[in-house]
Chain A
């Protein structure tokens, strides 16, 4: 009992000493915004990768993960992306360090801080909402609308990657992360295109 009390007190002292000042730090929203943005970028990458793999001609060669697992991961990652994105926006709207502001996160090229990189993020946001919204309504609006709209996702990814690299204040430290995620998407999309073209032209050779 006493041990628990001691641990609590020590933890409280440490938290009070290190975290409380941080909460009052004017940098907090910026740091929070940055980390949420990075997290949503990772979720977005996962979503794009699962989506591309679901469409990939080579998927048939692998038994696992099953198509339904990939699809559900894709949907779950989309939900994650949107949630983290909401956090990213709120934090940056409240932030006064870079001063993007509510209007800055909603209207492209209105941010004083790095207008074009931020605008890319804003456009990607709208793209993402459009893609997710049409997909959620797929059963009602029909494939001729939702599926072509879904290919906007690749543009969303490109815009997001550019936004992350250009608007983030510590992109250099994350260079390898961006290289890895972007090359993953490029490789998947490239092989998908090549394999699809070969398959259409040649039929199947066993």
Chain B
């Protein structure tokens, strides 16, 4: 599986919602802005969580991309 998660810092407003849905892949800085721990998503579980986080982000700041197999 090859999938990536990136954060658009121009959209991120630091609501910290992504970290609720994908705490293992996103950490927050002191203002609540998300930082991606690992751009590559390791397994299906991580991908599922990343998608949830991307869905939930009110600003659409998370970009999850899957390479076509």
Contacts and interface: CB of A to CB of B under 8 A. Distances in A.
A150 B15 CA distance: 14
Contacts of A67: 14-16, 28, 31-32
Contacts, number: 54
Contacts of A55: 13, 15
B59 to A, nearest CB: 8
A205 interface: no
Contact of B30 (A66, A142, A150): A66
B57 interface: yes
A66 B57 contact: no
Q: Could you say which interface size class chain A belongs to?
A: 10 to 19
Most chain B beta-carbon contacts within 10 A, residue among A60, A142, A143: A143
Q: Could you say which interface size class chain B belongs to?
A: 20 to 34
Interface in A47-80: 54-55, 59-60, 63, 66-68, 70-71
A138 B55 contact: yes
Nearest to A143: B58
B55 to A, nearest CB: 5
Interface of B: 13-17, 19-21, 28, 30-32, 51-53, 55-60
A139 B56 contact: yes
A63 B19 CA distance: 18
Nearest to B17: A71
A126 interface: no
Contacts of B28: 66-68
A97 interface: no
B37 to A, nearest CB: 15
A71 B20 contact: yes
A141 B55 contact: yes
A59 B55 contact: no
A146 interface: yes
Given A59-B31, A71-B16, A140-B55, 15 more contacts: A54-B15, A59-B14, A59-B32, A66-B30, A66-B32, A68-B20, A70-B32, A71-B15, A71-B20, A139-B21, A139-B53, A139-B55, A141-B55, A143-B57, A147-B58
